[in-house]
Amino acid sequence: MTFEAALRSAVGPEHVLIDPDLRSSYETDWTGRFSGESRAVVRPATTAEVARVLQECSGARVPVVVQGGNTGLVGGSVPPAEQGANPPVVLVTTRLAELSDVCVAARQVTAGAGVTLAVLAACARAAGLDFGVDLAARDSATVGGMVATNAGGIRVLRHGSMREQVAGVEAVLADGRILSRLAGLAKDSTGYDIGHLLAGSEGTLAVLTRLRLRLVPAERRRAVAFIAVAGTAEAVDLLAALQTQLPSLCAAELCFAAGVALVARHLGLRPPLEGTGQAYVLVEAAGQSDPLDELLAALQACPQVLDATVATSAPDRAQLWALREGHTETISALGVPVKLDVSVPMARLAELVDQLPGAVADAAPAALLVIFGHLAEANLHVNVLRAGDDSETVTAAVLSLVASLGGSISSEHGVGRAKTRWLGLSRSRAEIDVMRSVKTAFDPLGLLNPGVLLPAQRQAGA
């Protein structure tokens, strides 16, 4: 039997895509910046099918690129541009879409890796609970991809990142062996936590097939404020005040006048508070009872607030959120950006924002810089349009600046293919050595997502 025939026998002929036209949407990432050819796209529907696909790939020494919703922003879910003689199979998890009943007492649910965030959240809400992580790609991003990237999003300040939601995992190793710890035990001290290790492993260690996920209490009453402040330092001071004065605080996001103007134009919205301050903080308060009075009182007590607009109804709240969440789509409509996702110690955030324009202009004089991010984690999304041939120079300049401020070159999107060269700016040689040893233990033949996360070979400074 040929390799392709073996794949067809594993998942059914209609789920092995060989025709280049059928493969193409799986071979380019969401940003349009990363793409490469595959040998085949394979779409298994069960853990057993995933195991069979991986056995075939491992037997034939064919590399495997793992893909969920393909909303990742660092190129980890698509084949590399440089093709060797052995192009990879793209293993797509979206058919792993089973959802168990919610266990309300344990506040947990088991989801197939291909379940989207929106479907998971709807399931949790139907059971009177909620899911703790939320992000704008909710309709396509899968829980497998979100665990694999340790996704963050807009509620980290309340519930943590994706790793914190993982109560158990089922995953398939490169050779087809299945690891299964889905009991969701609240207490378990039997050694290394493999589930938490797989969170953030970006498809380099195993294919996640099912996740046991924690759910959180539903908070149905919400209020959102879009607040003008003088600049980043004032935004940080405002956050400090709200952290103590507003117990119902569940999101604190940062954007800037120039970016909001672009988003408003793209979405056809009127930018609120125009001409007041250089920065905006979007704050959401949530609780079992209406948090509006608490929010208004806190805003009144904070001298950093130059002006604010507040929304309580769902459509009005969505409109304010659109000014923040619309940045990604707006930027992509303007061109293919260099997208960098960084964090620094909170005390250095204002310095980073001040120094970025100079660093980017020195590296690529014609570039357009658009920044925004998650204020509560000092997580800035640095988008550079029109970098042209200077993409790598811009990346080096921004990531070196971040490292000099004691920050991380990837706050929540992962390292992917985009930033492997710079991993040594955030991880020591000893850490990278340990990560390589872990990779070898899970995947001795190096077949899962080669070229993602870990640099292909050790480089100076790595």
The stretches of 335-428 forming alpha helices (DSSP H) are 349-363, 391-404
Q: Which of 54, 57, 64, 66 binds ligand FAD (CB under 6 A)?
A: 66
Q: Which of 38, 47, 58, 93 binds ligand FAD (CB under 6 A)?
A: 93
Q: Which of 214, 381, 417, 421 binds ligand MLT (CB under 6 A)?
A: 381
The DSSP element (H or E) to which 306 belongs, if any, is none
Q: Which of 51, 62, 151, 344 binds ligand FAD (CB under 6 A)?
A: 151
Residues 24-63 that bind ligand FAD (CB under 6 A): 30
Residue whose beta carbon is closest to ligand MLT: 328
Scanning 44-52, 217-225, 264-272, 321-329 for contacts with ligand MLT by CB under 6 A, the matching segment is 321-329
Give the integer Cα–Cα distance in Å for 16 and 13: 6
Minimum CB distance to ligand MLT smaller for 381 or for 419? 381
Q: Dihedral sign, CA of 98, 101, 104, 110?
A: negative
Q: Is 71 a binder of ligand FAD (CB under 6 A)?
A: yes
Q: Is 136 a binder of ligand FAD (CB under 6 A)?
A: yes
Q: Residue 148 binds which one of ligand MLT, ligand FAD, none, with CB within 5 to 8 A depending on kind?
A: ligand FAD
Give the integer Cα–Cα distance in Å for 82 and 375: 37
CA 361 from chain centre, in angstroms, equals: 27
CA distances from 413 to 53, 174, 305 (A): 27, 23, 31
Q: Which residues contact 388 (CB under 8 A, 6 or more apart)?
A: 364, 366, 367
Minimum CB separation from ligand FAD for residue 441, in Å? 16
Give the integer Cα–Cα distance in Å for 8 and 417: 29
Give the integer Cα–Cα distance in Å for 279 and 375: 11
Closest of 248, 136, 138, 137 to residue 124, by C-alpha: 138
Minimum CB distance to ligand FAD smaller for 277 or for 416? 416
The number of residues that bind ligand FAD (CB under 6 A) is 35
Q: Residue 76 binds which one of ligand FAD, ligand MLT, none, with CB within 5 to 8 A depending on kind?
A: ligand FAD
Q: Which residues contact 86 (CB under 8 A, 6 or more apart)?
A: 61, 62, 63
Q: Is 93 a binder of ligand MLT (CB under 6 A)?
A: no
Residue whose beta carbon is closest to ligand FAD: 145
Q: Edge-to-edge strand order for the sheet containing 166-172?
A: 108-112, 207-214, 166-172, 178-181
What are the φ/ψ torsions at residue 78 (nearest 5 degrees)? Answer: -130, 160
| Residue labelled with tokens 């401020």 | 405
Q: Residue 68 binds which one of ligand MLT, ligand FAD, none, with CB within 5 to 8 A depending on kind?
A: ligand FAD
The number of residues that bind ligand MLT (CB under 6 A) is 8
Cβ(331)–Cβ(370) below 8 Å: yes
Q: Which of 42, 89, 136, 156 binds ligand MLT (CB under 6 A)?
A: 136
Q: Residue 381 binds which one of ligand MLT, ligand FAD, none, with CB within 5 to 8 A depending on kind?
A: ligand MLT
Exposure on the CB side of residue 236, measured as CA atoms within 13 A: 16
Residues that bind ligand FAD (CB under 6 A): 30, 66-73, 76-77, 93, 113, 135-137, 141-142, 144-146, 148-149, 151-153, 202-203, 207-208, 328, 412-413, 449, 452
Residues that bind ligand MLT (CB under 6 A): 73, 136, 325, 327-328, 339, 341, 381
